[in-house]
Structure 1
Amino acid sequence: MEENLVVVVVREFNAERDREAVEEMESRCEVGPSGKPAIFTDSMGDPICRIRHSPAYLMLVAEYGEERKIVGVIRGCIKTVTRGKKTLSEFPVYTKVAYILGLRVSPTHRRQGIGTKLVQHLEEWCKQKGAEYSYMATDCGNEPSINLFTLKFAYAKFRTPTILIDPVHAHRKPIGSKISIVRLSPPFAESVYRRLFSNSEFFPKDIDAIFSNKLNLGTFMALPKKWVPLWDPQTDKLPPSFSILSVWNSKEVFKFQVRGVSTLTYACCVGSRLLDGMMPWLRIPSIPDVFRPFGVYLLYGLHMEGKGGVGLMRGLCRFVHNMGREDVGCGAVVAEVGRRDPVREGVPHWRRFSWAEDVWCMKKLSGEESGDDTADDWIRSRPTSPVVFVDPRDF
Structure 2
Amino acid sequence: MSLKIAAENWPKSSSKKVEESSIVIKEYDEVKHKAAVENLERLCEVGQRGKPSLVTDLLGDPICRIRHFQLHVMLVAEFGEEEEVVGVIRGCVKTVTRGNLAYVKLAYVLGLRVSPKHRRFGIGTKLVEHLEEWCKQKEAKYAYMATDCTNEPSINLFTKKCGYSKFRTLTMLVQPVHAHYKPINTNISVLRLPPRLSGPIYNHIFTNSEFFPKDIDLILSNRLNLGTFMAIPRKYLNKCDLKKGIFPPSYAILSVWNTKEVFKLQVKGVSPFVHACCVGTRVLDKCMPWLRLPSFPNVFRPFGVYVMYGLHMEGKYGKQLMKSLCGFVHNMARDDGDCGTIVAEVSHRDPVKEAVPHWRKFSWAEDMWCIKNLEDMKKECGPFDWFDYKSFSDVIFVDPRDF
Which SS does the other structure have where 1:117 is aligned?
helix
Q: Distance in 2 between matches of 1:343 and 1:37?
A: 32
1:377 equivalent in alignment to 2:392: no
Query: Identity of paired residues, percent?
Result: 60
**What residue ranges of structure 1 are gaps of 5+ in the alignment?**
86-91
Q: Equivalents in 2 of 1:227, 1:15: separation in Å? A: 53
Indicate the residue corresponding to 2:53 in structure 1. 39
How far residue 35 of structure 1 moved from its aligned partner, in angstroms, is: 10
2:325 alignment partner, one of 301, 310, 316: 316
Greater fraction helix? 2
Secondary structure of 1:145's counterpart equals helix
Q: Which amino acid aligns with 1:68?
A: E
1:214 partnered with 2:214: no
Alpha-carbon distance change, 37 to 321 in structure 1, aligned in 2, over 3 angstroms: farther
Runs of 4+ in 1 over 4 A off after TM superposition: 1-4, 34-37, 370-373
Q: How does 1:350-389 map to 2 (within 5 A)?
A: 350-368=359-377, 373-389=381-397
How many residue pairs get aligned? The number is 387
Q: For 2:98 and 2:202, how far apart are their aligned partners in 1?
A: 15
Q: CA deviation at 1:274?
A: 2.2
With normalisation by structure 2, the TM-score equals 0.92
CA drift of 1:232 comes to 2.7
- CA distance in 2: counterparts of 1:8 and 1:146, whole angstroms: 23
* Equivalent position of 1:22 in the other structure: 37
Shift, 1:36, TM fit: 11
Residues 283-327 of structure 1: per-residue CA shift (max 9 Å, x gap): 211222111111100000000000121111010001000100111
Q: Helix, strand or coil: the match of 1:191?
A: helix
CA contact (8 A) 1:133 1:362 kept: yes
Q: Which moved further from structure 2: 153-162 or 265-274?
A: 265-274
| Superimposed CA distance per residue, residues 164-216 of structure 1 (whole angstroms, 9 cap, x where no aligned partner) | 00000011111222211110111110010000000100000000000110000
- The two structures have a TM-score, normalised by structure 1, of 0.94
1:250: Cα distance to partner? 0.7
1:234 aligns with 2:243: yes
SS in 1 for 2:307: strand
The answer (yes or no) to whether the contact 2:382–2:388 under 8 Å persists in 1 is no
**Match of 2:191, as an amino acid?**
V
Task: Determine helix, strand or coil for the equivalent of 2:103.
Answer: strand
Q: CA 1:196–1:37 in 2, change beyond 3 Å: closer, same or farther?
A: farther
Alignment RMSD, CA only? 1.8
Report the Cα offset of residue 37 of structure 1: 5.5
Matched, 1:124 2:133: yes
Task: Read off the aligned partner of 2:110 and give its amino acid letter.
Answer: L
Q: In structure 2, what is the equivalent of residue 80 of structure 1? A: 95
Per-residue Cα deviation, 1:327-357 (whole angstroms, up to 9, x for no partner)? 1220000000001101011100000010110
Q: Is the 8 A contact 1:58 1:75 kept in 2?
A: yes
CA contact (8 A) 2:209 2:393 kept: yes
For residues 71-111 of structure 1, give each alpha carbon's deviation from its aligned partner in whole angstroms, at most 9, with x where no partner exists.
110000000000101xxxxxx11000000000001111110
User: In structure 1, the residue corresponding to 2:132 is in which secondary structure?
Assistant: helix
SS in 1 for 2:390: coil
In structure 1, the partner of 2:27 is 12
What CA distance in whole angstroms lies between the structure 2 residues aligned with 1:65 and 1:371? 43
What amino acid is aligned across from residue 66 of structure 2 in structure 1? I
1:186 maps onto 2:195 in alignment:
yes
Q: Distance in 2 between matches of 1:71 and 1:265?
A: 34
Distance 1:309 1:141, change over 3 A: same
Gaps of 5+ in 2: 1-9
In the alignment, which residue of structure 2 is the partner of 1:155?
164
Q: Is 2:233 the partner of 1:224?
A: yes
Correspondence list, 1:211-360, <5 A: 211-360=220-369
For residues 119 and 304 of structure 2, the distance between their equivalents in structure 1, rounded to whole angstroms, comes to: 29
Q: Deviations over 1:337-378 (max 9, x none)?
A: 00110101110000001011000000011235x677521111
**Which moved further from structure 2: 284-293 or 224-233?**
224-233
- 2:286, 2:66 → 1: CA distance? 37
Counterpart residue number, 1:174: 183
**Structure 1: how far apart are the matches of 2:228 and 2:273?**
40
Between stretches 48-57 and 281-290, larger displacement belongs to 281-290
Q: What is the SS of the residue equivalent to 2:264?
A: coil
Residue type of the alignment partner of 2:220: F
Aligned to 1:138: 147
Counterparts of 1:330 and 1:165, CA distance in 2: 13
The separation in 2 between residues aligned to 1:325 and 1:270, in whole angstroms, is 18
SS in structure 2 of the partner of residue 344 of structure 1:
helix
Q: Which residue of 1 aligns with 2:68?
A: 53
Contact 2:164-2:372 at 8 Å conserved across structures: yes
Which position in structure 1 is the counterpart of 2:84? 69
Counterpart of 2:123, as a letter, is: I
Which residue of 367, 377, 402 corresponds with 1:394? 402
Matches of 1:101 and 1:332 in 2, distance apart? Answer: 22
8 Å Cα contact 2:88/2:111 also seen in 1: yes
Using the alignment, how far apart are the partners of 1:310 and 1:194 within structure 2?
22
Q: Secondary structure at the match of 1:201?
A: coil
Say which is worse superposed, 231-240 or 272-281, in terms of deviation.
272-281
382-391 vs 196-205, which moves further:
382-391
Amino acid at match of 2:151: N
CA distance in 2, matches of 1:274, 1:216: 34
* Residue of structure 2 in register with 1:89 after alignment: none
Moved more, 4-13 or 152-161: 4-13
Does the aligned pair in 1 maintain the 2:208–2:391 contact within 8 Å? no
> Conserved in 2, the CA contact under 8 Å of 1:40 and 1:259?
yes
